C-alpha cells in the first residue's frame, strides 16, 4: 500500500469515528433538550385563595356585605381548608364563597337544604338553588342533602370535616329542634371535626326567649346545646362583633340590615321610629363559636 493510500485510509477512519462521536453527542444534546422542555412545560398547579374567590366579579353584589360578614376571617377561624368535606346547613349567601374555594382546592361541598316534598314553594326554592349553583366548573359537584325537623340525613355519618351554620340557631329554637340539630351535626362529623356557629348574640344579662323570638341567642345557650350533643368548646372570635348593636330593637334583630323592617299594618312602628338610626348601626352583633367533636 502506498503512503498516499495509507493517508487516505486514516483520514476516512478519522471521519467515521468523529462522525459517530458527533452523532452520539448530538443525541445526548437532543435528549437533554427534550428533558428540559418536558420540565418547563409541566402544568402549573395553582392554589385558589380566599382572596381570589372573594374578588371574583360573580360576587359583585354580595361583596357589599363582606364588611359585616367577614367571610375570609370567619372561614379560616373555622378551619375550612383545602381538601376538606364541608357541610353548610341552610346554605345561601356563603355558598358563593365556600363552594368555589372547595371545588378549586380538592374538597367536597355539601349543601344541607330543606328536604324535598314539603310543599311547592319549598321545592321550587330547592330547584332554584340547585340551578343557581349548577356550574360544576365553578362550584364543583355539589352534594345535596336534606335538613329540617325530623330529617337530618344531609350526609353520611362520620364523614364531614367541618359543619357550618350561619344565623340559624334561633330558627331551630322556634321549631323546637335545636338540640336535635346539634346532635345531628355531631353524628355527621369525623372525630376531630369542627362545628362552626355564627349567630346573632343576645347579652347574657338579657332574658332569653326559649323560642328564639328575638332572633338573638345567648352564647351560654349555644354552648349548652353543643355540650349536650358531645362537643368540646374550642374558641370564640370577635370577628363578627358589632358593639353598636344593643339587641333591644322594636322589631328585634330584623330592625337592622339587611332586613331593615320598618313595620306593617299588623305590626306598626312605634312613635318616633327612625329607620336611619338602625341602618347606621349596621348588621347585628354576632357570636362566632368553634366546637370540636372529640377524637
Mind listing the pLDDT tens digit for each residue in 95-113? 999 999 999 999 999 999 9
Provide the b/e sequence for 207-243 (b: ≥16 CB within 10 Å): ebbeebebbbbbbebbbebbeebebeeeebbebbbbe
pLDDT mean across residues, the chain: 89
Answer yes or no: is pLDDT of 45 > 70. Answer: no
230-246 mean pLDDT? 98
In the prediction, which pLDDT does 14 show?
39
**Cβ atoms of residues 188 and 155 within 8 Å:** yes
DSSP 3-state of 62:
helix
Provide the b/e sequence for 96-131 (b: ≥16 CB within 10 Å): bbbbbbbbbbebbbbbbbbbeeeeeeeeeebeebee
274-291 mean pLDDT? 98
Answer yes or no: is pLDDT of 4 > 80. Answer: no
C-alpha cell recorded at residue 146: 336534606
**Cβ atoms of residues 183 and 229 within 8 Å:** yes
CA–CA distance from 273 to each of 249, 255, 263, 276 (Å)?
10, 11, 10, 9
In the prediction, which pLDDT does 47 show?
79
The model's pTM is: 0.84
User: 86 forms bridges with which residues in the sheet?
Assistant: 109, 162
266-287 mean pLDDT? 97
**Cβ atoms of residues 242 and 197 within 8 Å:** no
C-alpha cell recorded at residue 237: 372570635
Top-level CATH class of 50-292?
A: alpha beta
Q: Model confidence over 196-221: pLDDT tens digits? A: 999 999 999 999 999 999 999 999 99
Instruction: Tell me how crowded residue 176 is: count the other CB atoms within 10 A of its CB.
Output: 12
**Cβ atoms of residues 211 and 174 within 8 Å:** yes
DSSP 3-state of 108:
strand
Rg (CA), the chain: 31
Instruction: Tell me how crowded residue 135 is: count the other CB atoms within 10 A of its CB.
Output: 14
What are the helix (H) ranges across the chain? 3-40, 50-54, 66-69, 71-77, 95-104, 120-132, 136-139, 169-174, 178-188, 219-229, 275-281
Segments making up each domain of the chain, as ranges: 1-42, 50-292
In the prediction, which pLDDT does 10 show?
42
C-alpha 258/C-alpha 40 separation (Å) is: 51
Amino acid at each position: 500500500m502506498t503512503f498516499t493510500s495509507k493517508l487516505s485510509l486514516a483520514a476516512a477512519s478519522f471521519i467515521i469515528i468523529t462522525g459517530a462521536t458527533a452523532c452520539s453527542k448530538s443525541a445526548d444534546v437532543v435528549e437533554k433538550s427534550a428533558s428540559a422542555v418536558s420540565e418547563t412545560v409541566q402544568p402549573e398547579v395553582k392554589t385558589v385563595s380566599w382572596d381570589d374567590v372573594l374578588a371574583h366579579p360573580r360576587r359583585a353584589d354580595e361583596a357589599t356585605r363582606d364588611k359585616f360578614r367577614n367571610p375570609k376571617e370567619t372561614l379560616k377561624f373555622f378551619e375550612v381548608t383545602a381538601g376538606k368535606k364541608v357541610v353548610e346547613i341552610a346554605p345561601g349567601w356563603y355558598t358563593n364563597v365556600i363552594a368555589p374555594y372547595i371545588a378549586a382546592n380538592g374538597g367536597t361541598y355539601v349543601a344541607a337544604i330543606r328536604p324535598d316534598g314539603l310543599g311547592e314553594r319549598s321545592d321550587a326554592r330547592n330547584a332554584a338553588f340547585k340551578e343557581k349553583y349548577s356550574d360544576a366548573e365553578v362550584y364543583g359537584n355539589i352534594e345535596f342533602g336534606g335538613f329540617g325537623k325530623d330529617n337530618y340525613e344531609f350526609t353520611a355519618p362520620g364523614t364531614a370535616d367541618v359543619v357550618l351554620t350561619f344565623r340559624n340557631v334561633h330558627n331551630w329554637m322556634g321549631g323546637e329542634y335545636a338540640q336535635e340539630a346539634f346532635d345531628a351535626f355531631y353524628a355527621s362529623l369525623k372525630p376531630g371535626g369542627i362545628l362552626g356557629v355564627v349567630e346573632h348574640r343576645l347579652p347574657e344579662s338579657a332574658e332569653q326567649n326559649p323560642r328564639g323570638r328575638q332572633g338573638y341567642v345567648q352564647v351560654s345557650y349555644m354552648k349548652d346545646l353543643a355540650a349536650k350533643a358531645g362537643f368540646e368548646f374550642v374558641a370564640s372570635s370577635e370577628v363578627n362583633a358589632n358593639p353598636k348593636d344593643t339587641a333591644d330593637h322594636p322589631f328585634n334583630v330584623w330592625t337592622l340590615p339587611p332586613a331593615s323592617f320598618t313595620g306593617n299594618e299588623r305590626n306598626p312602628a312605634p312613635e318616633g321610629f327612625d329607620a336611619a338610626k338602625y341602618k347606621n348601626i349596621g348588621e347585628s352583633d354576632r357570636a362566632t363559636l368553634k366546637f370540636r367533636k372529640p377524637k
